Amino acid sequence: MLQERGRVVAIESDAIWVEATQSSACNGCSTKSSCGTGLLGDLFSSSTRVKVALNGFSADKIHLDDVAVIGITENALTSSALLVYLVPLMSLVLVALIGDSLFAEPGAVIGALIGLVFGALGVRWYSRSQSQNPTYTPVLLQIEPSQKK
């Protein structure tokens, strides 16, 4: 199970909202302050809010700004990554090949664009259809009380 820590930003009766900050791999490096890559990583870092079911945890014992440890299975992450990267790429190549065989180079270029768009739309449709699938839903593993109370 892959784990991530995030800050609790909202509490509902059956779930919490966790804000996890996305950071580059350079954040742990000792030369981060003098490295351009680390500075760019800080510039483009963002936060994502995720709704996580309580899974037996009591909402009364969770407070705002507590640290929530959430997890997702390795298989869910791997299959999702393959889907997101390979489906648009494969559809781009296949439709470009079809376009090239029918209309030469202009057909390949237009076919590649059409394939990329339809591949991306297919991924979006599939991800929305799987939004309630428990395999792809993060689970609450632990709550760590915040230090500032």
All residues at 6 or more sequence positions from 98 whose CB lies less than 8 Å from its CB, including other chains: 107, 111
- Average pLDDT for the chain: 89
> Residue 110 above 90 pLDDT?
yes
Angle in degrees, CA 95, 91, 88, rounded to 5:
140
Digit-coded pLDDT (tens) for 34-64 = 666 666 666 666 778 999 999 899 999 999 9
Confidence of residue 104 (pLDDT cuts 50, 70, 90): very high
Distances (CA, A) of 106 to 17, 100, 102, 144: 48, 7, 10, 58
Burial class of residue 101 in the structure, from the number of CB atoms within 10 Å of its CB (0-12 exposed, 13-18 middle, 19+ buried): exposed
Measured between alpha carbons, how far is 120 from 87 in angstroms, rounded to an integer? 8
Among 38-42, 63-67, 123-127, which stretch is predicted with the lowest mean pLDDT?
38-42
Between 55 and 92, whose confidence is greater? 92
Identify the pLDDT of residue 47.
77
- The structure's pTM equals 0.72
Confidence of residue 146 (pLDDT cuts 50, 70, 90): confident
Amino acid at site 126: Y
Identify the pLDDT of residue 22.
66
